[in-house]
Amino acid sequence: MTLFAKIINREIPAQIVFEDEHVLGFKDINPQAPVHVLFVPKLAVANTDALGDDQAELVGRVVLAARAYARQVGIAESGYRMVMNTNGDGGQTVFHLHLHLLGGRPMHWRPG
């Protein structure tokens, strides 16, 4: 079981800021911006590469959850970044699909 599955199951504590039937949102333990929240589907999928072709709705729910939270905390207008890392070169370290919502400061684009 992954770390994020344990957070979903409340076996490991996290600062949970969003929850609905399908998605959990919790603060990243090592924040890279004033707002840095991870949104995960409750259904375990390793990453975007492991997604089934019939799982578009799962990703959509994660994106809409992050959008709702961004509006709630007042960063929708100033802007934010959503990131999903996949596998080694993508920098993925936890193999339960997650979306990083980053905001509260200007983002720069420095791939690598």
CB of 103 to ligand AMP, least distance (A): 15
Q: Does 112 bind ligand AMP (CB under 6 A)?
A: no
Spell out, one character per residue from 46 to 85, where the chain touches ligand AMP: x when CB under 6 A holds, - when not: ---------------------------------------x
Among positions 77, 88, 89, 93, the unique one binding ligand AMP when judged by CB under 6 A: 93
Per-position DSSP letters for 68-94, written without gaps between them: HHHHHTT-TTT-EEEE---HHHHT--S
Name the residues annotated as catalytic. Answer: 98
Q: What CA dihedral angle connects 62, 64, 66 and 68, to 10 degrees?
A: -150
Sign (positive or negative) of CA dihedral 100, 42, 73, 11: negative
Between CA 42 and CA 72 the distance in angstroms is 21
**Interface with ligand AMP (CB under 6 A), residue from 2, 5, 22, 28:** 28
- Residues in contact with ligand AMP by CB under 6 A are 3, 14, 26, 28-30, 38, 85, 91-94
